[in-house]
Amino acid sequence: MTDGPLIELEGITKTFGTGAAAFQALKGVDLAIQGGDFVAIMGPSGSGKSTTMNILGCLDTPTSGTFRFHGVEVQALTRDQRSLLRRRYLGFVFQGFNLLARTTALENVELPLLYRGEPKAARRKAAERSLDKVGLLPWASHTPAELSGGQQQRVAIARALVTDPDVLLADEPTGNLDTERSIEIMELLSDLSRTGITVLMVTHEEEMAEFARTIVRFRDGLVENVEQGALREVIT
């Protein structure tokens, strides 16, 4: 642990493909994110937002540059250490929810703990706590088909929270939701960030980005601009 930023990207590049087909998706991304921040990542389609999220989530590796997490250089870790880092510190929320269909909300939320080999009683308890955090404990025995889109996304967030991550990574978490449901998810993410979890979210909607404390704008594989202190927090 260090006193520096939780996450640091320095000169991160990412090239997909080789030779004539090579495409440089990231051209030297510099970014520092403080622990506990609520960050909205914005920018045009193809500007490198998801590529950056995948690197931050240890789902992909950069071509060059330095990525530090808690001051530790991530590329210096072995593949196994990186996957440990991912399981121990990171939680993921996707646009499409990715819930198992014929499985209750509670069982969906338990899943990451099942992979960890935790005993049933402990899994159940943690999953109930996590569902409670997103206000869905009464819906624990419902399957995704019996839940609204907003509720399904809450279950997905509860699943991401069940391992007690330091960082929640959400790539367009409201992409499939209407405005009202999206705002509810933003309020939830905002509350979570106030409890100390660092939230990194990609969004195309200014209205949603306003809930964040920091807005990072991408353009053509680079960070174009970082704005601090978004409006919503001041007025709510």
Q: Which of 4, 46, 71, 138 binds ligand ATP (CB under 6 A)?
A: 46
Min. distance of Cβ 171 from Mg ion in angstroms? 6
Min. distance of Cβ 151 from ligand ATP in angstroms? 24
Min. distance of Cβ 24 from ligand ATP in angstroms? 8
Which DSSP string corresponds to 202-213? E-S-HHHHTTSS
Nearest to 218 by CA among 56, 96, 86: 56
Min. distance of Cβ 49 from Mg ion in angstroms? 5
Report the C-alpha gap between 218 and 41 in whole angstroms. Answer: 7
**Percentages helix, strand, coil for the chain, rounded to the nearest 5?**
40, 25, 35
Pairing, β 64-69 against β 222-228:
unpaired
Q: Give me the phi and psi of 124, to 5 degrees please.
A: -60, -45
Indicate whether 174 belongs to the interface with ligand ATP (CB under 6 A).
Answer: no
Q: Which of 29, 31, 38, 51 binds ligand ATP (CB under 6 A)?
A: 51
Report the C-alpha gap between 213 and 190 in whole angstroms. Answer: 9
Burial of 195 per CB tally in 10 Å (0-12, 13-18, 19+): exposed
Q: Please identify, among the stretches 5-13, 47-55, 69-77, 153-161, the one whose residues bind ligand ATP according to the rule CB under 6 A.
A: 47-55
Q: Which of 18, 45, 78, 228 binds ligand ATP (CB under 6 A)?
A: 45
Q: Give me the phi and psi of 96, to 5 degrees please.
A: -90, 15
Indicate whether 50 belongs to the interface with Mg ion (CB under 5 A).
Answer: yes
Min. distance of Cβ 82 from Mg ion in angstroms? 21
Indicate whether 25 belongs to the interface with ligand ATP (CB under 6 A).
Answer: yes
* Length of the chain in terms of residues written: 236
Indicate whether 16 belongs to the interface with ligand ATP (CB under 6 A).
Answer: yes
Indicate whether 203 belongs to the interface with Mg ion (CB under 5 A).
Answer: no
Query: Cβ closer to Mg ion: 37 or 171?
Result: 171
Q: Which of 6, 33, 37, 48 binds ligand ATP (CB under 6 A)?
A: 48
Which tokens belong to 63? 């071509």
Q: Applying CB under 6 A, which residues contact ligand ATP?
A: 16-17, 23, 25, 43, 45-51
